[in-house]
């Protein structure tokens, strides 16, 4: 699990220019698709140099095979969870781009499925870290925050790569069948048809202030 | 008369070293730094001192506030005596610590207040303990020492006891059996079992504790009862202490654990060969003098070795320096090295000395290898081989540059926020290195490069150089120049494109070339400020990172050169020049720390 966590958190760790996209589509019946992409291609040299090491800052560096194996385990385990109908993963080990796509019956099942799999894969079994809702949907309103586990991890990272982190972007996209009435985050952009919102923040700013991508979106009745 | 001299020398020795702090260095020490001019350190804070890597093994328990804002002077240390830092490792344990003179015992214990008096088993010596650290005081000298058993040895003993008691492997996974038992039942079983017998980890801790005590007794008993200190057992160390310099360095490579570990297989499987190889390393002792000059610390090193090894080294040095490499070293180069050895002569001498040793061993596999070596020696065109690499090598560090790479970036449709991918140019920071060797057979590397270019499009010939695309971490190119009797590999596009004939007037000046030429086989120069502060630590291994971290923030220059080499010894010198505003004692400790990390 640490391998996949390390990869998922690479953006916040050490990238010279990183792109992360989380893209969720929620249909009126609550079902939808969640896509998560991490692009480390502009830091290939650095990632490759780290992968060549046995350890970094006292922590073991996973091999590419270990990362691929963990991604495969994540995919298989998540696909078995209730309410999850299709899980696709794609890992480009040359350019270091990871893409995950998950189809779900309800937002609650998506969240529970991911939490359960992370807990299963995490040997530390730190249940508290997975408590609380990261995303909620009541048919009209969607709220999302950074999971406390990720926020705490990000805060604990050393600032040795601060200058590099400043070039990264985190993009959060939410799509709906109905137009959006309002958004709580003033930095949130809406598309012309108002059925999708986009929030783009700098990864370093996000590390300092996790609330930057907090958002509550209310749809038109 | 013949008895007078030994008696006199023994008397002089007793007067000279008998009551001094250096008499408390155990014979198990393999590496010693002995600082003579301790006065230099009177402004060094204890907090500062214990942060050095050479104090790493013993510092933990000292961080309790008692050392806050206290200088070494406040710690009651006698500055008229040497401060000796030592480290040793054998197949069973590591020993580390330092010995020093005491001026004010009460002041010493105000700083090292964690130490409690314990019953001393050593006549004439007081003993104190604090967790794993031990303090022994004999007369006006103190020894702070830590003895740690080697983990693999502790585990070996633990396993032996554990399995002799009929236990299963401690890593045996009994989950399948335990599944049928409830958590409560399992817990009560564990408690019941723990009450009658130690589990594996408890047993390991007990073994470690007992072994640690036994080894400490072995070291201290030898030192404080039998008087087996390093001065008595090593004439080289004894002689070294007479040098009128700021500090001395001693390393007994014959007892160097890592080398001993490498020879372990030979010792057990090929004992005759082990003895022969051991002979090669006999007397392989490295000593050094640290001299403090105005804004400069000189470190003069002498490496002594056995005559067979010395004859190989001497042959290696029979070579004329090829100054063509100097064209590719810039005058303001952050760091460079030049290495000059006669590989052919060294091979021939090694063949002459080592092969008979291998041939003596009555082992079928080894005997076959000896035959293969003999045949290779007859059949291989050694002239072609040693003409391909003539023996002169250079390397440079050209700082950090942006190198062109390709990246995938996401782009968004503003109407739908759908996104796609496109490949674009990117730039990444990369340390720029150049490595070159002299050759008299440029046709051979050309043959290899031509061949590679036929099997992969990654190799491509340009006007002045070959390019190996994405050679470095599948990202950045490597340029190979094969011209003017040199083969140069670099990731410096500027060198390949614009300086394939050398740096012209920008190259190192005649004075520096003369110095390299006059030096021995190795010459190196490092501008600490530009190298250490620029070098990306992510690219190197953790143990090397510690070394680089120890040099961070330093200004000044390190110049290393080897001097004379003969059949008995070789000499080298390192000159560290620094900014005059900085404190010399601090520089001395920094230098010692760097040496410690290099030799550990």
- pLDDT value of residue A184: 92
pLDDT exceeds 50 at position A13: no
Contacts of B405 in chain A (CB under 8 A): 42, 44-45
Give Rg (Cα) of chain B.
Answer: 30
Q: Are B409 and A39 a contacting pair at CB < 8 A?
A: yes
pLDDT exceeds 50 at position A11: no
Residue B474 tokens, joined: 């599948």
The whole-angstrom distance between B416's CA and the closest CA on chain A is 6
- What sign does the CA torsion over B312, B317, B318, B322 have? positive
Task: Let me know: does A89 contact A99? Beta carbons within 8 Å.
Answer: yes
Contacts of A49 in chain B (CB under 8 A): 473, 536, 538-539
- pLDDT value of residue A2: 37
**Residue partners of B379: CB distance under 8 A and separation at least 6:** none
pLDDT exceeds 70 at position A172: yes
- pLDDT value of residue B16: 45
State the pLDDT confidence band at A15, using cuts at 50, 70 and 90: very low
Contacts of A50 in chain B (CB under 8 A): 538
Closest CA relative to residue B585, chosen from B49, B145, B163, B2: B49
Task: Let me know: does B146 contact B132? Beta carbons within 8 Å.
Answer: yes
Q: Are A45 and B430 a contacting pair at CB < 8 A?
A: yes
Distance (Å, rounded) from C-alpha B24 to C-alpha B21? 6
Q: Which residue has the higher pLDDT, A143 or B19?
A: A143
Contacts of B539 in chain A (CB under 8 A): 49
Distance (Å, rounded) from C-alpha B122 to C-alpha B137? 10
- pLDDT value of residue B3: 44
Q: What does the mean pLDDT of chain A come to?
A: 81
Mean pLDDT of A65-85: 92
Q: What are phi and psi of B123, to 5 degrees?
A: -55, 135
Interface probe with A: pick from B173, B406, B407, B536, most Cβ of A within 10 Å? B407
Task: Let me know: does A189 contact A221? Beta carbons within 8 Å.
Answer: no
Q: Which residue has the higher pLDDT, A47 or A124?
A: A47
- Predicted ipTM? 0.81
**Residue that has been written with the tokens 């092969």 in this structure:** B355
Task: Let me know: does B327 contact B503? Beta carbons within 8 Å.
Answer: yes
- pLDDT value of residue B7: 41
Q: Which residue has the higher pLDDT, A165 or B170?
A: B170
Name the residue facing A39 among B405, B406, B408 (closest C-beta): B408
Tell me which residues of chain B have a C-beta less than 8 Å from any C-beta of chain A: 403, 405-410, 412, 414-417, 419, 421, 426, 428-430, 472-476, 536, 538-539, 541-542
**Total Cβ atoms within 10 A of residue A23:** 20
Interface probe with B: pick from A22, A37, A44, most Cβ of B within 10 Å? A44
State the pLDDT confidence band at A4, using cuts at 50, 70 and 90: very low
Residue B203 tokens, joined: 């047993």
The whole-angstrom distance between B46's CA and the closest CA on chain A is 27
| Residue B578 C-alpha from the chain's centroid | 23
Mean pLDDT by 10 residues, chain B (600 residues): 42 50 92 77 66 61 56 74 87 88 86 83 88 87 90 90 84 55 69 73 90 92 91 92 88 70 60 68 84 82 86 85 91 89 88 84 81 91 91 88 84 89 85 92 94 93 92 86 93 92 92 84 85 67 62 76 84 81 69 67
**Residue partners of B69: CB distance under 8 A and separation at least 6:** B45, B47
Q: Are B428 and A55 a contacting pair at CB < 8 A?
A: no
- pLDDT value of residue B592: 72
Q: How many residues does chain A have?
A: 221
Q: Which residue has the higher pLDDT, B338 or A210?
A: B338
């Amino acid at each position: 699990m640490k391998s996949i966590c390390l990869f998922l958190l690479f953006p916040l760790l050490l990238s010279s220019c990183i792109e992360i996209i989380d893209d969720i589509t929620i249909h009126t019946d609550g079902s939808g698709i969640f896509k998560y992409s991490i692009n480390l291609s502009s830091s290939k040299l650095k990632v490759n140099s780290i992968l060549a090491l046995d350890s970094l800052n006292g922590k073991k560096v996973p091999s590419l095979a270990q990362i691929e194996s963990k991604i495969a385990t994540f995919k298989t385990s998540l696909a078995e969870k209730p309410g999850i109908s299709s899980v696709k993963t794609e890992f480009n080990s040359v350019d270091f781009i990871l893409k995950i796509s998950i189809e779900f019956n309800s937002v609650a099942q998506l969240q529970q499925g991911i939490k359960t799999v992370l807990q299963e894969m995490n040997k530390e079994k730190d249940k508290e870290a997975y408590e609380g809702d990261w995303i909620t949907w009541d048919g009209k309103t969607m709220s999302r925050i950074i999971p406390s586990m990720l926020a705490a991890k990000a805060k604990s990272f050393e600032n040795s790569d601060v200058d590099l982190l400043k070039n990264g972007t985190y993009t959060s996209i939410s799509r709906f069948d109905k137009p959006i009435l309002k958004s709580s985050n003033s930095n949130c952009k809406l598309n012309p048809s108002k059925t999708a919102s986009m929030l783009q923040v700098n990864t370093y700013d996000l590390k300092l202030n996790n609330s930057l991508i907090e958002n509550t979106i209310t749809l038109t009745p | 008369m013949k008895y007078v001299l030994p008696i006199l020398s023994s008397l002089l020795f007793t007067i000279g070293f008998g009551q001094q702090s250096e008499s408390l260095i155990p014979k198990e020490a393999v590496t010693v730094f002995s600082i003579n001019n301790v006065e230099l350190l009177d402004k060094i804070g204890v907090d500062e001192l214990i942060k050095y890597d050479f104090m790493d093994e013993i510092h933990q328990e000292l961080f309790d506030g008692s050392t806050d804002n206290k200088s070494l002077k406040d710690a009651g240390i006698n500055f008229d005596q040497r401060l000796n830092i030592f480290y040793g490792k054998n197949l069973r344990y590591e020993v580390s610590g330092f010995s020093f003179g005491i001026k004010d015992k009460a002041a010493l214990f105000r700083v090292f207040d964690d130490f409690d008096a314990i019953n001393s088993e050593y006549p004439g010596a007081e003993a104190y303990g604090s967790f794993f650290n031990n303090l022994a005081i004999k007369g006006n000298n103190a020894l702070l020492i830590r003895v740690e058993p080697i983990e693999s040895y502790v585990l070996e003993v633990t396993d032996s006891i554990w399995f002799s008691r009929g236990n299963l492997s401690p890593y045996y996974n009994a989950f399948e059996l335990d599944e049928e038992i409830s958590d409560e039942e399992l817990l009560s079983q564990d408690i019941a079992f723990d009450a009658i017998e130690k589990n594996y980890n408890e047993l390991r801790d007990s073994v470690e504790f007992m072994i640690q005590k036994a080894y400490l007794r072995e070291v201290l008993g030898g030192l404080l009862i039998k008087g087996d200190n390093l001065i008595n057992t090593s004439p080289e160390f004894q002689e070294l202490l007479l040098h009128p310099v700021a500090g001395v360095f001693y390393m007994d490579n014959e007892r160097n654990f890592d080398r001993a570990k490498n020879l372990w297989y030979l010792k057990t499987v090929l004992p005759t060969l082990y003895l022969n190889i051991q002979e090669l390393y006999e007397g392989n002792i490295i000593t050094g003098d640290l001299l403090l000059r105005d804004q400069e610390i000189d470190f003069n090193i002498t490496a002594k070795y056995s005559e067979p090894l010395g004859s190989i080294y001497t042959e290696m040095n029979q070579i004329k320096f090829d100054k063509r490499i100097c064209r590719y070293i810039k005058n303001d180069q952050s760091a460079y090295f030049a290495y000059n050895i006669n590989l052919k002569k060294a091979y021939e001498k090694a063949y002459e000395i080592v092969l008979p040793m291998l041939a003596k061993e009555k082992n079928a596999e080894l005997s076959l290898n000896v035959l293969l070596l003999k045949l290779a020696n007859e059949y291989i065109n050694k002239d072609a081989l040693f003409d391909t690499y003539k023996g002169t090598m250079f390397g440079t560090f050209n700082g950090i540059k942006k190198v062109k790479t390709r990246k995938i970036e996401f782009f968004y449709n503003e109407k739908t926020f759908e996104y796609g991918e496109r490949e674009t140019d990117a730039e990444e920071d990369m340390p720029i290195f150049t490595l070159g060797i002299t050759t008299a057979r440029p046709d051979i590397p050309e043959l290899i490069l031509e061949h590679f270019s036929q099997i992969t499009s990654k190799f491509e010939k340009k006007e002045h150089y070959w390019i190996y695309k994405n050679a470095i971490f599948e990202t950045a190119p490597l340029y190979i120049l094969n011209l003017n009797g040199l083969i140069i590999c670099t990731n410096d596009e500027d060198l390949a494109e614009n300086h394939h004939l050398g740096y012209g007037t920008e190259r190192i000046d005649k004075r520096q070339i003369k110095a390299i030429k006059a030096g021995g086989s190795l010459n190196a120069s490092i501008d600490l400020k530009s190298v250490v502060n620029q070098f990306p630590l992510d690219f190197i291994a953790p143990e090397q990172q510690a070394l680089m971290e120890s040099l961070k923030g330093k200004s000044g220059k390190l110049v290393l050169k080897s001097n004379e080499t003969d059949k008995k010894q070789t000499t080298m010198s390192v000159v560290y020049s620094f900014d005059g505003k900085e404190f010399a004692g601090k520089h001395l400790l920094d230098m010692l720390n760097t040496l410690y990390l290099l030799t550990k």
